[in-house]
Chain A
Amino acid sequence: MSEYTYEEKENFEGTKVKVLGPTYDEGKPVEKDDWQAKLGSRGDMLGYLRTALRYWYSKEWYGSEKRKQEA
Chain B
Amino acid sequence: MSEDKVRSIDGATVELLEKARKENISTAFTRADEIKPCPIGIEESCCKICAMGPCRLPRSKKDVAKERKGVCGATIDTVVARNFARKIAAGAASHSDHAREVVETFIKTARGKAQEFVIKDEIKLLAVALDFGIAIEGRDIKDIAIELGEKALKEFGKQHGELIYISKAPLKRQEIWRKYGVVPRGIDREVVEIMHRTHMGVDQDYRHIIQQATRTALADGWGGSMISTDLQDIMFGTPVPVLGRINLGVLKEEQVNVIVHGHEPLLPELLVVASRDPEIKALTEKAGAKGINLAGMCCSANEVLMRHGIPCAGNFLQQELALVTGAVEVMTVDVQCEMQGLQSVAECFHTKLITTSDRAKIEGALHIEFHPEDGLDTAKKILKMAIENYPNRRHAVYIPDHSQDIVAGFSHETINYLLGGLFRASYRPLNDNIINGRIRGVAGVVGCNNVRTPHDEGHITMIKELIKNDVIVLTTGCAAMACGKAGLLTPEAAQQFAGSGLAEVCEAVGIPPVLHLGSCVDNSRILIAATAMVKEGGLGDDISDLPAAGAAPEWMSEKALAIGQYFVASGVFTVFGTTWPTLGSENVTKHLFEEYEEMYKGMWAYEPDHEKAAQLMIAHIDKKRKALGLEKARERVLFDMAMRRALE
Contact = CB atoms under 8 A, between A and B. Distances in A.
Are A and B physically bound partners?
yes
Interface of A: 9-13, 15, 17-21, 24-30, 32-36, 38-39, 42, 45-46, 48-49, 51-53, 55-57, 61-66, 68, 70-71
B500 A70 contact: no
B174 interface: yes
Nearest to B427: A55
Contacts of B492: 24, 26-27
A28 B405 contact: yes
Given A17-B438, A27-B510, A36 B240 contact: yes
B416 interface: yes
Given A11-B437, A17-B501, A21-B495, 15 more contacts: A11-B501, A13-B633, A15-B633, A19-B500, A27-B511, A36-B240, A42-B122, A49-B126, A55-B536, A63-B537, A64-B539, A64-B541, A65-B535, A70-B171, A71-B175
Contact of B422 (A20, A35, A46, A66): A35
6 contacts: A26-B492, A35-B417, A35-B422, A42-B126, A53-B127, A63-B536
A39 B122 CA distance: 10
B238 A11 contact: no
B407 interface: yes
B72 interface: no
Nearest to A32: B242
B490 A28 contact: yes
A29 B242 contact: yes
B510 A12 contact: no
Contact of A32 (B121, B172, B309): B309
What 3 pairs between A and B have smallest CB-CB spacing? Answer: A11-B501, A27-B491, A52-B425
Given A46-B126, A64-B537, A17 B504 contact: yes
B226 interface: no
Given A15-B633, A39-B123, A65-B171, A9 B500 contact: yes
Interface in B388-422: 405, 407, 413-414, 416-417, 420, 422
B423 interface: yes
A33 B241 contact: yes
A55 B491 contact: no
For the side of the interface on B, what is the size category?
35 or more
Nearest to A49: B127
Contacts of B440: 12
Nearest to B635: A15
B540 A55 contact: no
Nearest to B423: A51
Nearest to B536: A63
B127 A55 contact: no
Contacts of B532: 55
Given A36-B238, A45-B123, A55-B531, A71 B174 contact: yes
A60 to B, nearest CB: 13
Nearest to B539: A64
A16 B405 CA distance: 31
Given A29-B243, A39-B123, A63-B536, A11 B500 contact: yes
A45 B420 CA distance: 17
A33 B491 contact: no
A11 B438 contact: yes
B503 interface: yes
Contacts of B123: 36, 39, 45, 48-49
B507 interface: yes
A52 B495 contact: no
B507 A35 contact: no
